[in-house]
Structure 1
Amino acid sequence: MTFDFEAPLWLWEARRAERWTFVSVPEDASDEILERAGAFARGFGSLRVEVTVGGTTWRTSIFPDGGKRAYSLPIKKAVRSAERLEVGGSVRVRLRVLDV
């Protein structure tokens, strides 16, 4: 199950010292992921994925975001640096769900 989409990079601050950057998986893709892979969810409802942004591919997990009715995809600092991504900027993502 693979999805290609473009979405803005956004910042979530848990505490002053903790800042995380994410991209929200579009609602239609999130609905399909939940329907087809939701039974395989792990802790916190997470699902393992393989992600490609530009020339960088890595494995991580997506997490449900009830407030947005979508999954959130963390974008680590090494990827942001390698691909020159900035908060608020648009990110082109290829996401492959591994838990199916």
Structure 2
Amino acid sequence: MELEITGEVWYWRGPAPHHFVTVPPTQADEIHDVASMVTYGWGMIPVRLRMGATVWETSLWPKDGGYLVPLKLAARRAEDVEVGDVVTLRLELQPERGRRTGR
């Protein structure tokens, strides 16, 4: 499954601070429909992610019935992305990564 989402970059200051984009509700519902086939546990969804010209693998984090997309520092630097910027992300759900872990 491939999805394109657009959202604002925000910063979470928790014990492990990180930058995220929240998956919009419509796309979160689409992901939820296939989540049991792609999760590797704890509701984490493996994805191949593209932001601009930068591509990497990560996992969507479940949160309050939806999902968060973590944006790694190297990708934000490569694309000159800051808190408050609106970005378009292409997500490719990767069920084979979930199955490889044996969970």
TM-score (norm 2): 0.86
Q: Is 1:46–2:44 an aligned residue pair?
A: yes
Q: Which structure 1 residue ranges, 5 or more long, are not aligned?
A: none
What 5-or-longer segments of structure 2 have no aligned partner?
Answer: 97-103
**Letter of the aligned partner of 1:12 in structure 2?**
W
Residues matched between the structures, number: 96
* Displacement after TM superposition at 1:44 (Å): 2.2
In 2: Cα distance, 1:40 partner to 1:53 partner: 22
Question: How far did residue 49 of structure 1 move?
Answer: 0.2
- Higher share in strand: 1
The alignment's C-alpha RMSD in Å is 1.4
1:81 aligns with 2:77: yes
Percent identity between matched residues is 34
Q: Which amino acid letter does the alignment assign opposite residue 19 of structure 1? A: P
In structure 2, how many angstroms separate the alpha carbons of the residues matched to 1:11 and 1:36?
28
Name 2:100's counterpart in structure 1: none
Displacement over 2 Å in runs of 4+ = 37-40
Q: Give the TM-score, by structure 1 length.
A: 0.88
